[in-house]
Amino acid sequence: MSSQPNTEDIGQEATTGGPGWGGKIEGQYRKIKEHAETYPYVWGSYILVYGGFGLWLTYRWRKLRKTEDRVGVLQERLRKLVEAEQSTNSAVAVTETNKTSPSAD
């Protein structure tokens, strides 16, 4: 009797997926599914809390990206203004040196 495998064990092994990664994953999935069906309020609270946390993180991430985009636009605009100011200052300096330098008359 002990040399023959129990038919219940064989049936249970077949339903849990057997050895290997696939069997382990399937067995863990079945455990989680059974727990979720047994305690739906616990899983509902998990979804509510972690889902809310995920939404908040998404909101903050998008707000950060928009702020970075606005800062980039402002930096570009400031860079162009500084370049324009430097070019006008250099043009004025060139014309002033031309006026003050003695001519070869």
- Please give the pLDDT value at position 1: 46
User: How far, in Å, CA of 62 to CA of 70, rounded?
Assistant: 12
Question: Which stretch of 9-13, 15-19, 23-27, 85-89 has the lowest confidence by average pLDDT?
Answer: 9-13
Q: Is the pLDDT of residue 53 over 80?
A: yes
Helix, strand or coil, per DSSP, at residue 47: helix
Q: Is the pLDDT of residue 17 over 60?
A: no
Q: Is the pLDDT of residue 44 over 90?
A: yes
- Please give the pLDDT value at position 6: 55
Is the Cβ–Cβ distance between 30 and 16 less than 8 Å?
A: yes
Alpha carbon dihedral 44, 50, 55, 57, in 10-degree steps, equals 180
Comparing 101 with 71, the larger pLDDT belongs to 71
Comparing 89 with 12, the larger pLDDT belongs to 89
